[in-house]
Amino acid sequence: MRPVLTIARYDLLRSVKSRETFLIGLLMPALMMLLLGLAMGGENTGTTITIDVLDEDGSPLAQQFVASLQTEMQEGGSFRLCPYRGAAPDACNLDAGLASQPDTWRSTADTRLEDTDTYGAILIPAGFGDDLRAGNTVTVQFKSSADLSAPTLAEQKIDAAVSRMGGAVSLANLAVDVAEHDLNAFEPGGPARAAAFDTVRADVESTWDTRPVRVESTATPAEVSRVGFNQSGPGIAVMFVMMFMLNSATLLVYERETGTLQRLYTLPVRKPVILAGKLLGRYLYGLAQFAVLIGIGALMGVEWGGNVIGIALVVLIFTLTTTALGLALATVVRTSAQAQNISLLLGLTLAPLGGAWWPLEIVPGFMKMIGHLSPIAWAMDAFQEMMYYGGGVLDILPMLGVLLGMAALFFAFGVFKFQYE
């Protein structure tokens, strides 16, 4: 055991002293984590989501719908509604004269979406109020940006406002129809019907918040945003740890080419002991690299969760799996140049495939299955289980089991095929 530790210590010190290893293994992933996290929305805390409203109808019912949207959007404080009719230029960065130019509303909304000045645009079509009064179905359009979370959140708010308006209008039409046809309270289609409709709808709107059945939703403490640093933090960490461990193949082949391994074989130890010492040194550096990147991620706002034991197990087992993968790669290449190119290509392929660059939830089902051929996918699944759902060690055991199985398979292949000469 002592020769293994001695060789591992030597390789570890050599890696720590290498300026190139520091730049590629620590500085570059920290910068990528920062840039990718900011590109995906940062910490996603305190961000105001701007939604434009294009009211092409201008009827009292359309204005009431906009008011309902305002009410829904104000809950939580993360949305800002920007009506083009009566626009507030300072708050929404809209042209002050926009309200008098309805013909340009749609092109303006498209431009603002393309420039990411807004996350979405709601279009209330002309005839909105008349169609509702007549009991017809009305379609409200919602165009959104490609952001991962904002459209879904906005749609929930819009659905709530639509439900409120639709419920009030349906009840008002039902009550007026009964009064008009069954009770003969007023002439069909006359002004009395319109007045009765407005009265009933206003009464329903005023009592909406006192409805007898409500749904109260609460978020668990572990529920965090799936964008920003919470995605880029673990993603960049596992990607660079894998790429560093795959580079072990390059070093092993290079030392075999230059005769360094052959000189080590003159020591009074068995060849497998020398190989074990080199792999242990790389493994220990990979653990240190992973720990530092987790710390950097925490400083940037990554919410890793409170499952310290689970995080430690993922770090230990994922690094072991990628160490074994590096050994297996060293047995199928002939030169160090081949090993360097293939390790880089393999790392840059398995990273996005496994969900290091974006959540696998946004890819098709068959791509999600293919992605789980990458060890990164199982590590990301484990991190997401702990970060988003408050999972414990038992919850991530399936992911850890798959990673251990991969490690055993790669080690068996590598040890069997490795050429010492």
* For residue 343, pLDDT beyond 80: yes
* For residue 378, pLDDT beyond 50: yes
Contact criterion met (CB below 8 Å) for 52 and 120: yes
Note the pLDDT of residue 267.
Answer: 66
pLDDT tens column, 180-219: 676 667 666 667 777 877 787 777 777 766 655 554 544 4
Query: What's the rounded mean pLDDT across residues 318-336?
Result: 87
21 contacts: CB under 8 Å, gap ≥ 6? 15, 244, 285
* For residue 224, pLDDT beyond 50: no
Query: What's the rounded mean pLDDT across residues 381-393?
Result: 84
- For 158, phi then psi, to 5°, come to -65, -45
Name the average pLDDT for the chain.
77
Contact criterion met (CB below 8 Å) for 82 and 118: yes
pLDDT tens column, 47-62: 567 888 888 888 888 8
Alpha-carbon dihedral 92, 98, 100, 106, rounded to 10 degrees = -110
Note the pLDDT of residue 152.
Answer: 61
Strand segments (E) across 131-269 = 141-144
The radius of gyration computed from the CA coordinates of the chain, to the nearest angstrom, equals: 31
Note the pLDDT of residue 45.
Answer: 44
* For residue 11, pLDDT beyond 90: no
**CA dist., res. 210 & res. 204, Å (int):** 10
Looking at per-residue pLDDT, the higher value among 316 and 147 belongs to 316
SS3 78: coil
State both tokens at 204: 């329903």
User: What does 52-70 look like in DSSP terms, one character per residue?
Assistant: EEEESS--HHHHHHHHHHH
Pairing of strands 120-124, 49-55: parallel
Note the pLDDT of residue 409.
Answer: 94
Contact criterion met (CB below 8 Å) for 371 and 349: no
pLDDT tens column, 141-155: 888 765 545 556 677
**CA dist., res. 217 & res. 318, Å (int):** 36
From residue 352, how far is each of 234, 363, 367 by CA, in Å? 13, 11, 11
- The model carries a pTM of 0.57
By the 10 Å C-beta count (0-12 exposed, 13-18 middle, 19+ buried), 11 is classed as buried
Q: Which residues of 118-130 are buried (b: 16+ CB within 10 A; e: fewer)?
A: bbbbbbbeeebbe
Note the pLDDT of residue 164.
Answer: 76
**CA dist., res. 131 & res. 73, Å (int):** 25
State both tokens at 45: 């805390």
**CA dist., res. 149 & res. 154, Å (int):** 9
Query: What's the rounded mean pLDDT across residues 31-45?
Result: 59
**CA dist., res. 90 & res. 46, Å (int):** 19
pLDDT tens column, 250-306: 777 777 777 766 676 666 667 777 777 778 888 888 888 888 888 888 887 777 877
Q: Which of 78-87, 314-323, 387-396 has the highest mean pLDDT?
A: 314-323
State both tokens at 218: 């609460």
Contact criterion met (CB below 8 Å) for 407 and 320: yes
**CA dist., res. 372 & res. 374, Å (int):** 5
Query: What's the rounded mean pLDDT across residues 316-325?
Result: 92
When pLDDT is cut at 50, 70 and 90, the band that residue 313 belongs to is very high
From residue 334, how far is each of 199, 327, 330, 339, 416 by CA, in Å? 84, 13, 8, 8, 16
**CA dist., res. 264 & res. 273, Å (int):** 11
CA angle 388, 391, 392 (to 5 degrees): 150
When pLDDT is cut at 50, 70 and 90, the band that residue 321 belongs to is very high
Looking at per-residue pLDDT, the higher value among 47 and 245 belongs to 245
Provide the residue ranges of all domains of the chain, joining segments of one domain with +.
2-41+225-417, 49-210
By the 10 Å C-beta count (0-12 exposed, 13-18 middle, 19+ buried), 384 is classed as buried
Write the CATH number of the domain with boundaries 49-210: 3.40.1710
Contact criterion met (CB below 8 Å) for 339 and 418: no
49 forms bridges with which residues in the sheet?
Answer: 79
Query: What's the rounded mean pLDDT across residues 335-352?
Result: 85
Q: In this prediction, what percent of the chain has a pLDDT beyond 70?
A: 75
When pLDDT is cut at 50, 70 and 90, the band that residue 225 belongs to is very low
- For 253, phi then psi, to 5°, come to -70, -40
* For residue 9, pLDDT beyond 70: yes
Note the pLDDT of residue 151.
Answer: 56
